[in-house]
Chain A
Amino acid sequence: MGIFDVAFLVSVLTIAAPVLLAATGELVSQRAGVMNVGLEGIMLAGAFSAYAAMTVTESLLIGFLGGITGGLVGAVLMGALVIEAKVDQIVAGIAIGVLGYGVTAFLDQRLLPEPHTFEPLERLAIPGLSAIPVLGDVVFRQDLFLYATLLIVAGTAFALYRTTWGINLAAVGETPVAADAAGVSVRGVRWAAVLVSGAMAGAAGAYVSVGDVGVFREDMTGGRGYLAIAAVLFGMWRLRGVVLAVTIFACTDAVQLRLQSIDAIPREVWLVAALLLVPVVVRALASVRSVRGGPLHAALRPGPAGGVLIVLLLAVFAVRPPDMSLPASLWLAMPYVLALVALAAAGASRHQAPSALTIPYVRSEA
């Protein structure tokens, strides 16, 4: 049955790459204090611009440059709204998200009614390294976009943690007054961060359309932009955390792709579900117990008792899987459900967020 094979790992990387690139850009923007909620719309703008550029030039390079330009246009709009006009960031972001969807769908129908299909990016085998068993097939036989993403993430890590620019960025997102007093232009840093995030999201969008499959469809980013935002929160505003979060999301997405085609839910899924619930139930038990009564008393209360029952049931299923499956659309929702859970869990660690996130900077305040 083997869900986890080389092809699975390859699909994890392919799914992860655009989300990771967009999330890295979003991280830069959020560390500067701008929460770009319109990331989904900006990715769509990138996806469509890349597709439009391709239909004219048929060059993947121009296509990606077009995607980056589309992302930058979205970012300029975002920056003008939240940095210059000081509009509420969430409101502006939602507007840009909706706008990106509407405008790309409209332009697609009006300008390019004939669907085009292009050759997606080639997979390049890196000589030597690609001969390594498993790792070579998974990592070193990928397309250029993945390599570029890895380089950009590494470069971002360097910029964030090893340069004055990274320090300024953190200062602008945390205590803009201090950055301003130090002579750092809060406006300049925020613009730079928003534009970086726009360019990255645009490139990620281009990969989703022309880079990966070679077509454009309405709303084809399918929530990847929101996943990227969730990854930044779940990753607690650290690049390492963001990479981890994107990996988890991509694994889940790859798993659900496989599971869609399997008749019965395999026992591994039941086991994982049971294991995931155990810490929740244990915590509930502990909190009830600390109020009053012994462990038995705690386990008999309706909430924890239900939890214990569900865990036991899942454990039974793991040993003897029932012959049942879920509709494909439910499987499709899995990464998003996970993102919701992740956000709820990250709610407890909210204090990790940059203090000035979503707060416009007005200088003359005392």
Chain B
Amino acid sequence: MSTTTSGADPRAGTRSSALRLSGVTKRFGGFTANDAVDLEVGWGEVHALLGENGAGKTTLMRIVTGLYQPDEGTIAVDGEEVAFRRPEQALRAGIGMVHQHFTLVPTLTELENLAMGPSLLPLRDGRRTALERATSVESETGLRITPDRRVADASISERQRLEIVKLLCRGARILIFDEPSAALTPDEWEDLARLMRRLADDGHAVVLISHKMSEVFAVADRFTVLRGGAVAGSGAIAETTREDLVEQMVGESVEIRRERGPVQAGRPALAVRGLSVLRDADQPRGPRALDDVGLDLRGGEILGIAGVAGSGQAELVETLLGLRIPVAGEIEVAGRPYVDRSPSSFYAAGGSLVAEDRHHVGMFGSMTLWENINVRALRRPPLVRRNVIDPAAARHRARDLMAEFEVRATSENQAMGRLSGGNQQKAVLARELSTQPALVVAVQPVRGLDVRATEFVYRRLLDQRARGGAVLLISMDLDEVLSLSDRIVVLAHGRVQGVLDAADATRARIGALMTSREAS
């Protein structure tokens, strides 16, 4: 195990400790979320916190930000021991967290979001002081806000910037970023990475929680890896390698190359011809989200759709589900014309969907796991007898599928929303793949998942292909599209810019096609 003292890093020689956790343990009932965790972050340092989903990062950060109290162990900020009972206390001690889901109020303006906060004189108007603070933060860090713009009108990266400004305005000196790149474009990530470095160079302490090795190696000075709630390793980034970190995270080396047989094109699974969809259904002459799009997908094949976000991917899925009505075009599913489009007829025709927005579209969070897993099969025998659902059979089926798809839960009666992200996605896959669909539409299927769960999802999609089913893989992640697809359709501005065989597709070629033409 690597050292945890700052002396090991030559660049950290003069740094004093900003945040030090010693032996922090947190238990929930019989489950130990954090087991004697030591973590040390110095001033002026970008510290990467790594770990799979469920490794205890979130719990640890909730302890640091005062949402949970540790059962054992101590926390010291700038050398002084602290015990936070409420988040306000952590804020006052200078600890701020940039959450994955921003804590902003969309209906208020950016300035009002800064002014929000406890005030001793409730009838005071905090906007003036907020503006002064925002101005001084801008002069220090170059982060500029648009005071009178409603947050709802701001882009994701602008909201993230506001979130950072908000924390700096409140005097945060230890900044925690929870997977900040999840919703950013590569350019926006570059900006953020520069900002993190600048904040560290100005003497702040930065904690970066991330899954992406490239990001960690681009900005971090030191790292700590959590596995199963305990520290699996820590040290200086300069003295480690990617493979090393991945191994510390998962405890074993993950197969990166995917073995697969040659394409054995089977029956047609999806055919789309001349599909045109309006961006805004109320503007018949307005811009089109999809323009004369054609796709051809047969069983035993994975067709990847590459493109930057907003190229028409969402509209394509919504049209398949019948949620959008196209102005022109024909669609065939499993070789039959698919005219009366609706979600139920899509599933009836042999389609299935791994939705991008797992929490809102892909599952019923407050319903149990067995109810979720059986949703597609509930109306058919053997789960239905004489039009009555047989719960015992449904639970049995759920248990079988949980075993087959490695869904880890206390029982099939657990609420879906209580599972970790990876287990939720496995349950979604169990539901969507267990009905032997002719076509699986998978949209960003590994978003927010850890290495192991990602690997599981990929393997299951490849199984579907091997079984003779078809997969339409829609993803913004080029590496994902490249490593899984047999053919790749590049979508830009709602048009098909090119179709490539996986054999001769490269990042450069796809990238060139993705940016090849402006919107007409």
Distance A200 CA – B154 CA, assembled complex (angstroms): 37
Report whether B117 and A177 are in contact in the complex, using a CB–CB cutoff of 8 Å. Answer: no
Partner-binding segment picked from B18-26, B108-116, B217-225, B403-411:
B108-116
Supposing A168-B117, A182-B117, A363-B67 touch, asked if A163 and B124 sit within 8 A by C-beta, the answer is yes
Question: Which residues of A lie under 8 Å from residue B102 when comparing CB positions?
Answer: 178
Distance A355 CA – B104 CA, assembled complex (angstroms): 13
Question: Which residues of A lie under 8 Å from residue B99 when comparing CB positions?
Answer: 181
B interface footprint on A227-255 (CB within 8 Å = 1, 0 otherwise): 00000000000000000000000000000
Report whether B106 and A164 are in contact in the complex, using a CB–CB cutoff of 8 Å. Answer: no
Asked whether B73 is an interface residue with its Cβ less than 8 Å from the other chain, the reply is no
Report the contact-size class of chain B (Cβ under 8 Å from the partner). Answer: 20 to 34
Within 8 A of A (CB), among B67-101: 67, 87-88, 91, 97, 99, 101
Report whether B105 and A170 are in contact in the complex, using a CB–CB cutoff of 8 Å. Answer: yes
Asked whether B107 is an interface residue with its Cβ less than 8 Å from the other chain, the reply is yes
Report whether A177 and B103 are in contact in the complex, using a CB–CB cutoff of 8 Å. Answer: yes
Report whether B116 and A179 are in contact in the complex, using a CB–CB cutoff of 8 Å. Answer: yes
Chain B: CB-nearest residue to A168: B116
Asked whether B14 is an interface residue with its Cβ less than 8 Å from the other chain, the reply is no
Least CB distance, A241 to chain B, in whole angstroms: 15
Asked whether A342 is an interface residue with its Cβ less than 8 Å from the other chain, the reply is no
Asked whether B155 is an interface residue with its Cβ less than 8 Å from the other chain, the reply is no
Asked whether A184 is an interface residue with its Cβ less than 8 Å from the other chain, the reply is yes
Asked whether A357 is an interface residue with its Cβ less than 8 Å from the other chain, the reply is no
Distance A363 CA – B123 CA, assembled complex (angstroms): 26
Report whether B124 and A170 are in contact in the complex, using a CB–CB cutoff of 8 Å. Answer: no
Supposing A165-B123, A167-B112, A366-B58 touch, asked if A184 and B105 sit within 8 A by C-beta, the answer is no
Report whether A178 and B124 are in contact in the complex, using a CB–CB cutoff of 8 Å. Answer: no
B interface footprint on A157-185 (CB within 8 Å = 1, 0 otherwise): 01100111101101100110111111111
Distance A183 CA – B116 CA, assembled complex (angstroms): 9
Least CB distance, B339 to chain A, in whole angstroms: 19
Distance A235 CA – B112 CA, assembled complex (angstroms): 23
Report whether A164 and B87 are in contact in the complex, using a CB–CB cutoff of 8 Å. Answer: no
Q: Which of B97, B101, B107, B122 is in CB contact (< 8 Å) with A165?
A: B122
Report whether B116 and A167 are in contact in the complex, using a CB–CB cutoff of 8 Å. Answer: yes
Asked whether B118 is an interface residue with its Cβ less than 8 Å from the other chain, the reply is yes
Supposing A179-B116, A181-B99, A182-B116 touch, asked if A164 and B105 sit within 8 A by C-beta, the answer is no
Question: Which residues of B lie under 8 Å from residue A171 when comparing CB positions?
Answer: 105, 108, 113, 116
Report whether A164 and B122 are in contact in the complex, using a CB–CB cutoff of 8 Å. Answer: yes
Least CB distance, A108 to chain B, in whole angstroms: 38
Report whether B124 and A175 are in contact in the complex, using a CB–CB cutoff of 8 Å. Answer: no
Asked whether A261 is an interface residue with its Cβ less than 8 Å from the other chain, the reply is no
Report whether B117 and A174 are in contact in the complex, using a CB–CB cutoff of 8 Å. Answer: no
A interface footprint on B463-476 (CB within 8 Å = 1, 0 otherwise): 00000000000000
Distance A179 CA – B104 CA, assembled complex (angstroms): 8
Within 8 A of A (CB), among B118-170: 118-119, 122-127, 166, 170
Question: Which residues of A lie under 8 Å from residue B118 when comparing CB positions?
Answer: 168, 182-185
Least CB distance, B266 to chain A, in whole angstroms: 41
Question: Which residues of A lie under 8 Å from residue B104 when comparing CB positions?
Answer: 175, 178
Distance A256 CA – B106 CA, assembled complex (angstroms): 42
Distance A184 CA – B118 CA, assembled complex (angstroms): 5
Question: Which residues of B lie under 8 Å from residue A181 when comparing CB positions?
Answer: 87, 97, 99, 103
Question: Which residues of A lie under 8 Å from residue B87 when comparing CB positions?
Answer: 180-181, 183
Question: Which residues of B lie under 8 Å from residue A177 when comparing CB positions?
Answer: 101, 103
Distance A363 CA – B66 CA, assembled complex (angstroms): 12
Question: Which residues of A lie under 8 Å from residue B125 when comparing CB positions?
Answer: 162-164
Least CB distance, A268 to chain B, in whole angstroms: 38
Interface of A is mostly: helix
Report whether B119 and A164 are in contact in the complex, using a CB–CB cutoff of 8 Å. Answer: yes
Question: Which residues of B lie under 8 Å from residue A329 when comparing CB positions?
Answer: none
Report whether B123 and A159 are in contact in the complex, using a CB–CB cutoff of 8 Å. Answer: yes
Report whether A175 and B103 are in contact in the complex, using a CB–CB cutoff of 8 Å. Answer: yes
Within 8 A of A (CB), among B364-392: none
Distance A363 CA – B117 CA, assembled complex (angstroms): 17
Report whether A167 and B91 are in contact in the complex, using a CB–CB cutoff of 8 Å. Answer: no
Report whether B116 and A163 are in contact in the complex, using a CB–CB cutoff of 8 Å. Answer: no
Chain B: CB-nearest residue to A364: B67
Count A-side interface residues using an 8 Å CB cutoff: 25
Least CB distance, A237 to chain B, in whole angstroms: 10
Q: Which of B108, B112, B117, B123 is in CB contact (< 8 Å) with A184?
A: B117
Least CB distance, B54 to chain A, in whole angstroms: 12
Report whether A179 and B119 are in contact in the complex, using a CB–CB cutoff of 8 Å. Answer: no
Supposing A168-B117, A178-B113, A181-B87 touch, asked if A163 and B122 sit within 8 A by C-beta, the answer is yes
Supposing A163-B124, A363-B67 touch, asked if A178 and B115 sit within 8 A by C-beta, the answer is no
Supposing A159-B123, A163-B122, A167-B126 touch, asked if A175 and B112 sit within 8 A by C-beta, the answer is no
Report whether B119 and A165 are in contact in the complex, using a CB–CB cutoff of 8 Å. Answer: yes
Report whether A164 and B124 are in contact in the complex, using a CB–CB cutoff of 8 Å. Answer: yes
Least CB distance, A158 to chain B, in whole angstroms: 8
Least CB distance, A362 to chain B, in whole angstroms: 12
Report whether A170 and B108 are in contact in the complex, using a CB–CB cutoff of 8 Å. Answer: yes
* Most chain B Cβ neighbours within 10 Å, of A159, A165, A181: A181
Least CB distance, A288 to chain B, in whole angstroms: 18
Report whether A164 and B67 are in contact in the complex, using a CB–CB cutoff of 8 Å. Answer: no
Distance A181 CA – B95 CA, assembled complex (angstroms): 11
Question: Which residues of B lie under 8 Å from residue A175 when comparing CB positions?
Answer: 103-106
B interface footprint on A339-366 (CB within 8 Å = 1, 0 otherwise): 0000000000000000100000001101
Q: Which of B88, B91, B107, B115 is in CB contact (< 8 Å) with A164?
A: B115
Question: Which residues of B lie under 8 Å from residue A179 when comparing CB positions?
Answer: 105, 116
A interface footprint on B301-336 (CB within 8 Å = 1, 0 otherwise): 000000000000000000000000000000000000
Chain A: CB-nearest residue to B166: A182
Distance A170 CA – B108 CA, assembled complex (angstroms): 8
Least CB distance, A361 to chain B, in whole angstroms: 13
Question: Which residues of B lie under 8 Å from residue A180 when comparing CB positions?
Answer: 87, 103
Distance A163 CA – B127 CA, assembled complex (angstroms): 8
Distance A170 CA – B102 CA, assembled complex (angstroms): 17
Question: Which residues of B lie under 8 Å from residue A159 when comparing CB positions?
Answer: 123
Report whether B67 and A174 are in contact in the complex, using a CB–CB cutoff of 8 Å. Answer: no
Distance A174 CA – B104 CA, assembled complex (angstroms): 10
Least CB distance, B145 to chain A, in whole angstroms: 16
Within 8 A of B (CB), among A175-198: 175, 177-185
Question: Which residues of B lie under 8 Å from residue A182 when comparing CB positions?
Answer: 103, 116-118, 166, 170
Least CB distance, B347 to chain A, in whole angstroms: 29
Question: Which residues of B lie under 8 Å from residue A355 when comparing CB positions?
Answer: 107
Chain B: CB-nearest residue to A165: B122
Within 8 A of A (CB), among B450-473: none
Report whether A178 and B103 are in contact in the complex, using a CB–CB cutoff of 8 Å. Answer: yes
Least CB distance, B195 to chain A, in whole angstroms: 20
Question: Which residues of A lie under 8 Å from residue B67 when comparing CB positions?
Answer: 363-364
Report whether B116 and A178 are in contact in the complex, using a CB–CB cutoff of 8 Å. Answer: yes
6 further contact pairs, Cβ within 8 A, besides A164-B116, A167-B127, A183-B91? A163-B126, A164-B115, A164-B126, A179-B105, A182-B116, A355-B107
- A-B contacts, 19 of them at CB < 8 A, read A164-B122, A164-B125, A164-B126, A165-B123, A167-B127, A168-B116, A168-B117, A168-B118, A179-B105, A179-B116, A180-B87, A182-B116, A183-B117, A184-B117, A185-B118, A363-B67, A364-B67, A366-B58, A366-B101
Question: B residues bordering A, Cβ < 8 Å?
Answer: 58, 67, 87-88, 91, 97, 99, 101-108, 112-113, 115-119, 122-127, 166, 170
CB-based closest 10 A-B pairs: A181-B103, A164-B126, A178-B103, A183-B88, A165-B122, A175-B105, A171-B105, A164-B119, A182-B117, A182-B116
